[in-house]
Amino acid sequence: MENIFERQMLKNTVFLDKDIISPHHIPKNLPYREKQINDLTQGLSAVVNNSKPNNIFIYGKTGTGKTSTVRHVVEQLDEFVTKKELPVYNCYVNCRSHPSKYKVMLKALRSLYPENDFLGYSASFVYEKLLEFSSIKKAHIVLVLDELDKVKDVDDLMYSISRGNDEIKSGSLTVIGISNNLTFKEKLDPRTKSSLCEREMVFDPYNANELKEILKERVEKAFKQNCVEDNAISLASAIAAQESGDARTAVMLLQRAGEIADKTETFKVTDELVEKAKISVEEEIILSMISTLPEQQQLVLYAIAQLSLQSPHFTKVSGETEKGVLFSGEIFEAYLKLAKKFNERTITSRWYRQYITELEMYGLILVTNSGKGIKGQTRLIKLGFDAEKIKAALEKELFKNFTN
């Protein structure tokens, strides 16, 4: 009998190298990011000349190429210093998986001493060991802290790193901080802000034409010839440009459309398939957006999801009823209760209003004004997506954060 894996391998597919159309792939060539690559290279070139670089803070919406660009430049740096035998080391930390000062430092130390896991060592030991590494080797350490907004005690972390950098005589400890959160900087302690943002770079969203060029390059390497119609590339770019200018959405749309083409054995990626892929990609993106929100904002959204599920029908002045419509005030109260349960500090009502505005901007909720009559003038809030799904996604995030 024929082996089932052999049969699987013989199956027809539109993909040449599926990894290349995955959002985790880092392409060698990054169109429309030449300026950012140059600036970053220039900023980091101090380490090659044995001097201390400035810290760099990079921000911009999801899918604007921040992670890919920084990893590309750091890889190039690594290649260069290895060849020249210079004492320059880099550590990449995704703070989403290492969301505290201690965890970030531990992860950095482990990448400098790969043979030791330093399990159970104290925070001060880990910190001293990091500085010692730099002193002994007269090393320049470049610490890439991706999704830095995820670090709970980020002010503490930045303070320790700056102090460490000042202490190091020959060598340096530099941070490249990255954040998808456009308002993160505003929440930092002024001292942290000035040390982290010595140099700043913004990554703007891509427009439809730029996305199309980016996709074309990826398609050529990821798909077999003539398997992807031009219409499909145009539509994927248009959808992604309209939503957010996000290259990740664009790439995922084609990846998913390709999977549908294989599954339905049409072996042709068309605009219709991109349209089909849109629904599942949107869902995945919403869930991943939720995971990048700050904890307190996740709690606010959690309160909205919970209340939406419990809420009775809301009756308008006209007598019509609508489901899932909530008063801004009741959400704030539910949030306060939740925060207490999670043993969290609570945000003020001013921050609460700011968070609601942001959630609306991300499309996660819809906000309207009640007009006069209902409890004076109040904001009415409704969840933009399925409450069950949002609640489940938040539970996963919140329980992870709070057990850390």
Provide, rounded to whole angstroms, the least separation between the CB of residue 146 and ligand ADP. 7
Residue 177 sits in the site that holds ligand ADP (CB under 6 A): no
10 Å CB burial of residue 55 (0-12, 13-18, 19+) is: buried
Piece of the chain touching ligand ADP by CB under 6 A; list 42-50, 82-90, 222-230, 247-255: 247-255
Task: Name the residue nearer to ligand ADP (CB basis): 212 or 248.
Answer: 248
Residue 32 sits in the site that holds ligand ADP (CB under 6 A): yes
What is the rounded CA–CA span in Å between residue 31 and residue 123? 41
Q: Which amino acid is at 24?
A: H
Residue 237 sits in the site that holds ligand ADP (CB under 6 A): no
> How far lies 261's CA from each of 105, 106, 223, 224, in Å?
45, 44, 12, 13
What is the rounded CA–CA span in Å between residue 125 and residue 39? 35
Q: Which residue of 64, 100, 134, 181 would you call a contact of ligand ADP, by CB under 6 A?
A: 64
Contact 207, 225 (CB under 8 A): no
Residue 68 sits in the site that holds ligand ADP (CB under 6 A): yes
Q: Which residue of 67, 181, 192, 237 would you call a contact of Mg ion, by CB under 5 A?
A: 67
Provide, rounded to whole angstroms, the least separation between the CB of residue 288 and Mg ion. 11
Piece of the chain touching ligand ADP by CB under 6 A; list 61-69, 103-111, 255-263, 316-324: 61-69
Residue 179 sits in the site that holds ligand ADP (CB under 6 A): no
Task: Name the residue nearer to ligand ADP (CB basis): 197 or 374.
Answer: 197
Residue 181 sits in the site that holds ligand ADP (CB under 6 A): no
Residue 292 sits in the site that holds Mg ion (CB under 5 A): no
Q: Which residue of 101, 248, 256, 382 would you call a contact of ligand ADP, by CB under 6 A?
A: 248
What is the rounded CA–CA span in Å between residue 382 and residue 368? 9
Q: Which residue of 67, 90, 134, 306 would you call a contact of ligand ADP, by CB under 6 A?
A: 67
Where is 92: in which H helix or E strand? Answer: strand 88-94
Residue 349 DSSP label: H
Task: Name the residue nearer to ligand ADP (CB basis): 24 or 84.
Answer: 24
Contact 222, 17 (CB under 8 A): yes
Task: Name the residue nearer to ligand ADP (CB basis): 65 or 171.
Answer: 65
C-alpha 342: how far from its chain's center? Answer: 24
**Site residue total, Mg ion (CB under 5 A):** 1
Where is 352: in which H helix or E strand? Answer: helix 349-361
Piece of the chain touching Mg ion by CB under 5 A; list 59-67, 158-166, 255-263, 321-329: 59-67
Of 299, 378, 396, the C-alpha closest to 345 is 299
> How far lies 130's CA from each of 64, 74, 112, 194, in Å?
32, 20, 8, 23
Residues that bind ligand ADP (CB under 6 A): 23, 25-27, 30-33, 60, 62-68, 180, 214, 247-248, 251
